[in-house]
Chain A
Amino acid sequence: DGGITQSPKYLFRKEGQNVTLSCEQNLNHDAMYWYRQDPGQGLRLIYYSQIVNDFQKGDIAEGYSVSREKKESFPLTVTSAQKNPTAFYLCASTPGVRGTEAFFGQGTRLTVV
């Protein structure tokens, strides 16, 4: 089945640690996105990538980093510089053509302990 997979579903981080969230898609989509969602809030764009080896900052990129070495993969690293990382993180992909629907993973819930 084609889809987009995020792992892990739950992640716990100690203060000062970097953690990496995985996002993999087998939809052959060019564009991939990372969003952060806080309780009862909307989605805020962290980073997005339209093609391999290229990505752009979203609205809240500080304290996060990404890479896009393969079309299928767009991992997100939450660095120790992100002071309030506890949130629900969602990855999405689109074919990259304007006016097409986005497919979402099931999310990773990150908690700082």
Chain B
Amino acid sequence: SQQGEEDPQALSIQEGENATMNCSYKTSINNLQWYRQNSGRGLVHLILIRSNEREKHSGRLRVTLDTSKKSSSLLITASRAADTASYFCATDEGPGGSRLTFGEGTQLTVNP
């Protein structure tokens, strides 16, 4: 079963605009991570937010976490064509957080 569910499934914007993607999850977590995947490649870690954090920034990325709603959002500001990729959230489950479970992802297209 998928722990994380992203929405929207697909997002198309113009360069310079902001992109917001959302992730919902079902069980309690210790942390939530966001990853990026270029087509046909492996995933690359973007940012991790712990359950006791509400917001975190890294460059043009801003992640929020609302544990009461079991949801997170990833905001990419001033998007570029190079940001075109799929974005996934991931949560740790199981004893000691041993399972790393990913959502279905959001396909972001940034048009030049």
Contact = CB atoms under 8 A, between A and B. Distances in A.
Interface of A: 31, 33, 35, 40-45, 48, 50, 56, 58-59, 88, 90, 92, 94, 98-107, 109
B14 interface: no
Contacts of B40: 88, 107, 109
Interface string B32-54: 01010000111111001010000
A42 B98 CA distance: 19
Contact of A102 (B1, B43, B96, B107): B43
Interface of B: 1-2, 30-31, 33, 35, 40-45, 48, 50, 88, 90, 92, 96-105, 107
A102 B90 contact: yes
A101 B50 contact: no
A44 B42 CA distance: 14
B100 A41 contact: no
Contact of A43 (B31, B33, B88): B88
Contacts of A90: 42-43
B interface, over-half SS? strand
B97 A42 contact: no
Contact of B48 (A31, A33, A59, A101): A101
Nearest to B88: A42
A100 B98 CA distance: 11
B42 A99 contact: no
A56 B92 CA distance: 15
The 10 closest A-B pairs by CB, nearest first: A104-B42, A98-B97, A42-B104, A101-B45, A43-B102, A99-B31, A104-B43, A106-B42, A42-B105, A42-B102
A66 to B, nearest CB: 15
A84 B100 CA distance: 24
B31 A45 contact: no
Contact of B41 (A35, A102, A107): A107
